[in-house]
Amino acid sequence: MNPTARSPKTVFVTGSTSGIGRATAEMLLESGHRVVVHARNQRRADEVRSSLPAPVVVGDLASLAETMAVAETVQTHGPLEAIVHNAGIYETGGRVETGDGLERTFQVNVLAPYLLTALIPEPARLVYVASGMASGGEIVLDDLQRQRRSWSGTAAYQDSKTCLLALALGIASRYPETVVSAVCPGWVRTRMGGPGATTDVATGAATQVWLASSNDPAAHRSARYLRHMRDISFPHLTTVPANQTGLLAACAQLSGVELPHPPNRG
C-alpha cells in the first residue's frame, strides 16, 4: 500500500518538531499535502520554521490552558482533513505533577489528545499514535494517574498508551462518521527510542501518513489498530466498553470539557 494520496489534504500533527512526528510532517509535505506543525515551545517553533514550509502552532500539552490555545489557534489555518495525535512523553525520573495538578505523562499522552479532539471541529480522520508497550498497561479508572499505585516512568507510559487506545475506540464509537485509527509505530530510532531501536523513522511514520492522507478505501476503515501498515489486535482492556466510557468521563471531568455529541464538524 502506498502512503501517498491523489488529492492534497490539510493535516495537523502534534509533537512534530522531531522524531516520528517530524518525519510524518515531512512525508506529508513531500507528498503535496498541507501540514500544520506543532511545537511545545517557541524555541522549537523557531527551529522548525527554518526548515519546514509549514505553519507552526505553539503550546505545551502539559498545560490545559496551552492545549486549549493550540486547539483555538490551529483552527485559524483552515479546515483539517486529519489530525495525527503524535505527541507523547516518557518520564525517566520520578512522578511529576504539572501546574494543573495532574501527573504529566497522563496529561500529555491521554488528556491532551482528548482535549484537542473535543475542541477542534471534527476532521474526517483522527489518528492516535500509541505503542507496543500498551499491551502491558492497565486502565484503573479510579487511579488513572497512579496516585495510589506504585509509580514508575515505564508503568505510567504503558498505562497512558493503553488508555490512549481505549480513548480512540471510545471516540470511534461516539463519532461513527469519522475514521478513527490507532498506530503502533514499532521500536523507532528516535531520541525516545534510542540508537539501538530496530525501526527507522520513515517506517515508523509511514502508517500515520497513509491513514491521514490516502484515498485508498482501506485507509477509510475506522476503529483499527495498525503496525507497519498491518492490522493488529487491540489489547483486551481497551475493548471493554466500560473502560472506554469511563475514560471519556474521567477526561471530561479532569479537563472541564465535554466531548461534543453529535460530532462538532464546524
Q: Which of 114, 128, 161, 225 is catalytic?
A: 161
161 flagged as catalytic: yes
Q: Which residues contact 152 (CB under 8 A, 6 or more apart)?
A: none
Q: Which residues contact 153 (CB under 8 A, 6 or more apart)?
A: 90, 91, 92, 93, 105
157 flagged as catalytic: yes
Q: Which of 128, 157, 175, 225 is catalytic?
A: 157
Is there a contact between 146 and 92 (Cβ–Cβ < 8 Å)? no
d(CA 238, CA 234): 7
DSSP state of 188: B
Neighbours of 84 (CB within 10 A): 31
Q: Hey, what's the cell of 88?
A: 507523547
Q: How far does the chain reach from its first CA to its final CA, in angstroms?
A: 32
Q: Enumerate the active-site residues.
A: 157, 161
